[in-house]
Each structure stands twice: as structure tokens, then as C-alpha cells.
Amino acid sequence: MMHVSFNLNGKPFSADVEPRTSLADLLRSTSCGCTSVHLGCEHGVCGACTILIDGQIARSCIALAVSCSGSDLMTLEGLGKDELIGELKEAFREHHGLQCGFCTPAMLISAREMIERYPNMTEDDIRLAMSGNICRCTGYSGIVASISAVVATRGASNG
């Protein structure tokens, strides 16, 4: 077992883990309780486990908990008061951006980073930017419409 410590959603956290423990498994464990982190493929393809590691989106199923010791981690649980996440949630509700909800936490976190990086994304840009997150319900149209709506609203209010 190895000792790891990091900041999780703004609070210090430490635990003893086996080196082979994935970050996603640790986050979903009862000691962390971050069940917004979903495990789909567990080999870095579906994107459902996307979280923020040191402020940037990353897949927690292919990050090892030991390797993240000393990092700053943020899951959707820690983004409850984030303004952009709030706008995205509202837009997803409005534009049918989810059905079963399994991919949604990671969709929100990925969309947040992509909007912050590229505030003027077109529909094509959004499709490319979100291509690392798989959804099996919506056919993506609702998700793209939701993100487009947030981009448009932000664009209008900024200029």
C-alpha cells in the first residue's frame, strides 16, 4: 500500500492505496464518495470518468491514484457553485442534452473546459471538441444544441 494525498474539491484528502488503484476507483470509493465519476469502458475511450486534474480535463480511469498524489482534483461534486456549469446544466435540461444521464457529469466538465478555451465555437467545433465523450442516448444533437446555446448566450452578453 502507498500513501497518497491530494486536494479533492478544495479539501485535503489522503488515503492508502495499492499502486494499481485507478484514480476513478478511489474517487468512487466510500471514502471519497464522488459518484459523479462514472466508469464506462475503463480504458480511456468513453470519457465518462472525465474530471479536472490540476485544472484540466483528464480521464480518471487511466490515471493512477498514486501518480496523482500532490495534485489538485475536481469532480462535478466540487463544481456546484461554478457559474458555467450552472449555465450548462440549465441548457442540457432545456435542449434535451441528456436522457439516462450516465455520460452527463463528464459532458458538463468537458464542455466547460472547451467553452473556456474556445468561447466562439461553431457547431462543427463543438462536435470536434466533444468527440472524446460518448453518449448512447441522445444522438448528440441535444448535447450540441445545449452547448451551442451556452456559447450563444455568453457571446451575446459579452458583446
Partner 1 sequence: MKPAPFDYVRPRDLGEAVTALSELEWGGRLLAGGQSLVPMLNLRLSPLVRLIDISRIEELRGVDETADSVTFGACVRHGEFEDGKVPDPARGMMRRVAGRIAYRAVRNRGTIGGSLSLADPSADWITVVMALGASIRIRSPCGERSLQAADMFVGPYTTVLGEHDILASISVPKLSARARWGYYKIIRKAGEYPMTTASVVLDPERERRSVVLGAVNRGPLTMAETGAALNGAGSWSEQTETALRLAIKRDLAAADRIEDAYEMKLCETTVLRAAAAALVQ
In 3D space, the residue among 149, 64, 140, 136 whose CA is nearest the CA of residue 97 turns out to be 140
Instruction: Work out how close the CB of 70 gets to partner 1 at its nearest, in angstroms, rounded to a whole number.
Output: 8
Crossing angle, helix 104-117 and helix 83-94, to 10 degrees?
120
- C-beta closer to partner 1: residue 117 or 136: 117
Instruction: Work out how close the CB of 129 gets to partner 1 at its nearest, in angstroms, rounded to a whole number.
Output: 7
- C-beta closer to partner 1: residue 21 or 138: 21
Instruction: Work out how close the CB of 66 gets to partner 1 at its nearest, in angstroms, rounded to a whole number.
Output: 5
Please report, as ranges, the residues that interact with partner 1 according to CB under 8 A: 2, 18-22, 25, 42-45, 47, 50, 53, 56-59, 61-64, 66-67, 110, 113-114, 117, 127-129, 131-132
- C-beta closer to partner 1: residue 94 or 119: 119
State how far the Cα of 127 lies from the Cα of 144, in Å rounded to an integer: 7
